[in-house]
Amino acid sequence: MIDYIGQFIRALTDLTMEMAPYLLLGFLFAGILYVWFPKKKVYKYLGKPNSASVINAALIGIPLPLCSCGVIPTGISFYNSGASKGSSVSFLVSTPQTGVDSIMVTYSLLGLPMAIIKPFIALFTGFFGGFLTNKFDRNGHKDKETRQNEVDNNDQADRSLPGMLRYAFVEFLEDIAKWLLIGLMLAALIEVLVPESFFTAYLGNEYLEMLLILVAAIPLYVCATGSVPVAAILMLKGLSPGAAIVFLMAGPATNAATMTVIGNVFGRRTLIIYLLSIVAGAYFFGTIVNEFLPREWFLDPIAHIHGGEHAHGILPQWLKIGSGILLAGLIANALYNKYLSHYFKKEKAATKIHPTMKNMEVIVKGMTCNHCKATVENNIGALEGIEHVEANLSTEKVTISGENIDLEKVREKVESLGYKFYTDFISLNPSKDNQP
């Protein structure tokens, strides 16, 4: 047992150090994208139900570091603000499959060919899903004034240099830290427990292999970055490159919660098109990779994971060790901020309540990341009569302050974004007129 624990720790440490320099660079690029491409600059490219808008949506989504939980409120915001349904679906399909951080990590563990193929597949599947949606499931949009108001209210982030760095290494990392850690630990566990050449020894049929991976990946949640170390270790155990492609593309883009929200907001037909584009695209390109591309492109880059040497031979050991320590510290800080800090900040949070206004807390379920938090706060805060909104991801409580709060409008706004609203609320300091 002790030997297994030691092997697990060594495997986890090696994987973390291997990924860390590229992951930190990816986070920095994510912060730069956050500053350079605010939402109001991209809405105008997504509004028409044509192929150009669909391609624009996929191209915009591919580098964005949003996982399937974070992309949902962003995609719905695009749609509610006037983006065509086709371009919204294209964005929802292509964005979680990859991202600038995921591309960097893919290069570090799986090599350049896989790092190039992933964005190409995301572009193709996004376009395919958007094209089918425009052809079979069009609908109208809101008026121009409403769209512009929602665009303005959804683009209030801090875009200074400190704001960019905070987003890159604090807020964004809070969104993926748990899943990144789970992915690393799962990869290390597979490395220790699964026998060598497991898939070739026990399955032997690559088409069945891809199908089984697809069935397993669709309902489960795994982020694009966290899926990379798992795919690398599975390939070391004999998983074919095509099946790894299926896992890398279908896993991050689908999960049970995402499918439920898309079905509620966009309708059953759009949900079917969304799933069809991801499933068909992943299986098709998995087959292409297995049948027509050299295996050495995908197997040679992962050989270093066992050997302990970097495949590209360009990063010194001290940089990997230092980056690994820094990444571990940032992950620990992100987990503390998201899951523990609210236990120690109750008194500080209470001081934010406006004593001269009507204040209440409502429950909003479905918020899983800082994108969700910002979306809820900005959209509720834009309603008439509301002066201050603060959402707490851990408790799922949203504190609302204002002179004339219309809970029915708050409900409509929250549910239009794909979240669940509960009418049970706590009135923190109701005005005398509202007292029984």
pTM, full prediction: 0.76
Over the stretch 184-243, which tens digit does the pLDDT of each residue have?
898 888 888 887 777 767 667 889 899 999 988 887 777 888 899 999 998 988 899 999
Report residue 417's pLDDT band, with 50, 70 and 90 as the boundaries.
confident
* DSSP notation for 44-108: GGS-SSSHHHHHHHHHHHTTS---HHHHHHHHHHHHHTT--HHHHHHHHHHTTT--HHHHHHHHH
Q: What is the pLDDT of residues 156-193, one digit of tens each?
A: 566 788 888 888 888 888 878 888 888 889 888 888 88
- Confidence band of 37 (pLDDT split at 50, 70, 90): low
Predicted local distance difference test score (pLDDT) of residue 321: 92
Q: Please tell me the predicted confidence (pLDDT) of residue 139.
A: 59
Of the candidate ranges 36-45, 63-72, 210-219, 271-280, the one whose mean pLDDT is the lowest: 36-45
Q: Most confidently modeled of 326-330, 384-388, 394-398?
A: 326-330
pLDDT at 246: 95
Cα dihedral across residues 361, 366, 370, 373: positive or negative: negative
The average pLDDT across 276-298 equals 94
Least confident segment among 92-96, 135-139, 353-357, 386-390: 353-357
- pLDDT given for residue 348 in this prediction: 46
Q: What is the pLDDT of residues 305-337, one digit of tens each?
A: 655 444 445 678 899 899 999 999 999 999 988
pLDDT at 202: 67
The answer to whether residue 346 scores a pLDDT higher than 60 is no
Domains of the chain in start order, with CATH, are: 2-329 (no CATH), 346-434 (3.30.70.100)
* Beta carbons within 10 angstroms of residue 423's beta carbon: 10
Phi–psi pair at 64, nearest 5 degrees: -70, 135
Over the chain, what is the mean pLDDT?
Answer: 80
Whole-number pLDDT of residue 155: 53
Task: Please state the separation of Cα 238 from the chain's center in Å.
Answer: 28
Maximum mean pLDDT: which of 12-26, 284-298, 378-392: 284-298
- Spatial contact of 44 and 388, defined as CB atoms under 8 Å apart: no
In this prediction, residue 22 carries a pLDDT of 87
pLDDT score recorded for residue 314: 61
Give the DSSP H or E segment for 166.
helix 161-166
pLDDT at 351: 42
Cα separations (Å) of 6 from 10, 14, 385? 6, 12, 59
pLDDT higher than 70, residue 248: yes
